[in-house]
């Protein structure tokens, strides 16, 4: 069984789930998720001989949520996982991230190759730092209603998502971003669009699982996670020294074929060209028919791929 505790790292308190002994594996979740999103991976990787630690990322769940929007840059998030590795008394780790956790994992590997010996990203391809700020690039392309843009005004998205947290979490997790149009916001319908409380849950998500997310977001609200989106252009500015840099550690990519994040306007090209950034990409696994919440939806396949990768790059003692 996994245990939980609070660990101080990088000046904030992080709630973590942990299990197992062996080489350290850090699991970084995305939005709007929690360390609970890794509930199928933590015991499986621990049983395979690894020390597995999954934090609620800053601003999420039971971890601290700084007030200042500028406290949610990619440097802050990577600083948290660097601090976490140190606080755990370890000198190296394999880092794995899903959704927003994937950019954290990719950048952690990019910034600290001495610390992160290998990296896996789920559902979000590695960083391609473009020639202009991402939000400017969208506007220049005539796009005004992409969800990144919708999340920029402090308080607006929070009001929509917090109006009925149970309905929000049911809509977000049950629909899974399978339709590329789900990433675009109809101004008269908001981000959630047309959703009803009787929306059926997929087979991989139980009512008890959903209740975990609902309880957490009722307690924390959505501001912390949304602040990650409010640093997208700032992240572009901060990462200028890594223009065209490669992540040279062994890497793995996993996504679902029905995930709009990897089939849409930004993701599809990045998936095709990821070896430009990942010269030691060991495997690109696209799971047919799967959506965005890949490690929850296809736990057995994801676990098998992760364990095979870990045995290559960090054999358990």
Catalytic residue flag (residue 292): yes
Cβ contacts of 196 within 8 Å, gap of 6 or more: none
* Paired residues of 116 in beta bridges: 93
**∠245-246-250 over CA atoms, to 5°?**
160
**Is 98 in the active site?**
no
Q: The tokens of 285 are what? A: 């696994």
Q: Which of 29, 107, 150, 292 is catalytic?
A: 292
Strand partners, 16: 5, 55
| Residue of 56, 76, 99, 259 with catalytic role | 99
| Cα 141 from Cα 136, distance rounded (Å) | 9
- Residue of 73, 75, 230 lying closest to 148 (CA atoms): 230
Q: Is 217 helix (H, G, I), strand (E, B) or coil?
A: helix
Local structure of residue 70 (DSSP, 8 states)? G
Positions marked active-site:
99, 292
């Amino acid at each position: 069984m996994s245990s939980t505790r609070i660990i101080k790292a990088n000046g904030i308190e992080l709630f973590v789930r942990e299990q197992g002994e062996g080489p350290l594996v850090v699991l970084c979740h995305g939005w709007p998720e929690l360390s609970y999103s890794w509930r199928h991976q933590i015991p499986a990787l621990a049983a395979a001989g690894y020390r597995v630690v999954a934090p609620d990322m800053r601003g999420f769940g039971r971890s601290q949520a700084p007030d200042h929007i500028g406290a949610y840059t990619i440097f802050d998030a990577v600083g948290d996982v660097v601090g976490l590795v140190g606080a755990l008394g370890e000198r190296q780790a394999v880092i794995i991230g899903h959704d927003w956790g994937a950019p954290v994992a990719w950048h952690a590997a990019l910034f600290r190759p001495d610390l992160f010996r290998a990296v896996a990203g789920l559902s979000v391809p590695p960083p391609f730092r473009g020639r202009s700020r991402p939000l400017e690039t969208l506007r220049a392309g005539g796009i005004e209603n992409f969800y990144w843009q919708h999340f920029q005004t402090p308080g607006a998205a929070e009001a929509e998502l917090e109006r009925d947290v149970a309905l929000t979490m049911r809509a977000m997790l049950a629909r899974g971003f399978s339709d590329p149009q789900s990433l675009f916001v109809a101004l008269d319908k908001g981000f959630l669009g047309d959703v009803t409380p009787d929306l059926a849950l997929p087979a991989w998500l139980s009512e008890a699982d959903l209740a975990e997310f609902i309880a957490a977001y009722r307690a924390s609200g959505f501001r912390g996670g949304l602040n990650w989106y409010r640093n997208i252009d700032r992240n572009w500015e901060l990462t200028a020294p890594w223009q065209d840099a490669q992540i040279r550690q062994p890497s793995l990519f996993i996504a679902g074929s029905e995930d709009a994040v990897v089939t849409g306007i930004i993701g599809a090209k990045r998936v095709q060209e990821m070896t430009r950034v990942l010269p030691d990409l060991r495997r690109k696994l696209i799971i047919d028919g799967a959506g965005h919440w890949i490690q929850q939806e296809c736990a057995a396949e994801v676990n098998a791929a992760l364990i095979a990768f870990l045995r290559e790059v960090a054999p358990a003692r």
